[in-house]
Amino acid sequence: MKSEEHPIIEEPVLKKITEPQLNIILTTDEDDERPVYISGNFNNWVTQDKKFQMERVGQGLYHFKFHPDFVYPEELLYKFTRGDWSDVEIDKFGNRTENRSTKQRNGIKKEHVAKWRRNWLPFKSQFLPKVHLISEEFEIPQLNKTRRVWALLPHDYETSTERYPVLYLQDAQNLFHENAKYGNWEIDKKLAVMSEYNIGKLIIIAVEHAEKERIKEYNVGNTVLGSGQGKKYIRFVTETLKPFVDSNFRTKSDRIHTGIGGSSMGGLVSIFSGIMYPEIFGKLMIFSPSLWVVPKIKLSFLDMDEPEDTRIYLYAGGDESATMIDHVKKFKKRLLNKKGFLDKMKVHLSINMQGKHNELFWSDEFPKAIEWLFFSNKNE
């Protein structure tokens, strides 16, 4: 569907072009209700920037007019996405498209997208992270146990000299294993697509859960679930595992490049990791946290005299439980409630009203969280 084939549809768009700004008119063969964004070198390639969301003006027809105060780079580089790199434009054969470019400052620029990625397909196997089993029996002296621990390294780790941010994730069994009992997040495939677009290059350290003792191990202190071992587990991650990782891999070890995350009880123990060790973790990725376990959670790190910049990505699904969204909203409010913390605590709350409490929805949210936490300079 070429734009010139629809002069009648374009007529209302053309009527809007009354000022000498650059106007982009986009046609697409595959259209649905997802919004379309322009991402480029003018906004650090952020894929869900509402300032650059296109207006849908017809079936398969979109329009965007740059603001009169927009500062143009010497050459405007950009792509179209449906909200993140899992939904970026591709060509009619399913291949990655090169960056679009223009030096226009006004008038009309017509563009066309043949297809969009969906569900992270297709991905290129050469961009898959290198899955490295650190140990079958990594010692957890704080709990007198051992555990399988994995590292997912950037696809070009062995041929580069770069240092990378690190994200520690709970429940490794459900993150990338094809035969996982409850499905998996497919983080390897998502990181492959992101790496193809030169973002998403970080090290994931994935710690397997304790099977039947998972809840006890992720339960911090005395809660409605009883006495837990969560504080000892968090000490393992911070005092034993992180020093090992920083000594054996090319990491950016400072707090601003170190994150921790998980879902459900794994999300809860990740919250407490940030509370107990704000000097270690500058980024928290919290999906569907089991806040019902500790409805009056004590945010002791809010008493710091000099709080440091912290980014927290919160996600909740509307079809998880009757209280999930309410708990998460209250948690965000408490985080930002203390005077002086609004500028330090950057909290992004994402809610999917159709979201259920399972790996499929956490999988969909993962790349958005990674992008916002590690590769975006936006101050939402």
Structure tokens at 4: 């010139």
Query: What pLDDT score was predicted for residue 318?
Result: 93
Please name each of the domains of the chain with its CATH number: 3-116 (2.60.40), 125-374 (3.40.50.1820)
**CA separation for the pair 9, 257 (Å, rounded):** 48
Q: How far apart are CA 291 and CA 265, in angstroms?
A: 8
Q: Is the pLDDT at 344 greater than 80, yes or no?
A: no
Q: Contact at 8 Å (CB) between 241 and 294?
A: no
Which pLDDT score, from 0 to 100, does residue 306 have?
A: 59
Which percentage of the chain shows pLDDT scores above 90? 65
pLDDT band at residue 28 using 50, 70 and 90 as cut-offs: very high
Q: Which amino acid is at 109?
A: K
Q: Which residues pair with 79 in a beta bridge?
A: 39
* Residues facing 111 on adjacent strands: 26
Give the tens place of pLDDT for each residue, 83-138.
888 889 999 988 889 999 999 999 999 999 999 988 677 788 999 999 999 999 99
Give the pLDDT score at 380. Answer: 42
Quote the pLDDT of residue 224. Answer: 80
Q: What mean pLDDT, rounded, does the chain reach?
A: 88
Per-residue confidence at 302, pLDDT binned at 50, 70, 90? very low
Instruction: Write the CB contacts of 77 (distance below 8 Å, at least 6 apart in sequence).
Output: 40, 41, 99, 100, 101
- Taking only the tens place, the pLDDT of each residue in 36-84 is 999 999 998 888 899 999 999 999 999 999 999 999 999 999 999 998 8
Span 263-287, mean pLDDT?
A: 94
Model confidence at 307, pLDDT cuts 50, 70, 90, reads low
pLDDT category at 9 given cuts 50, 70, 90 is very low
For residue 152, pLDDT beyond 60? yes
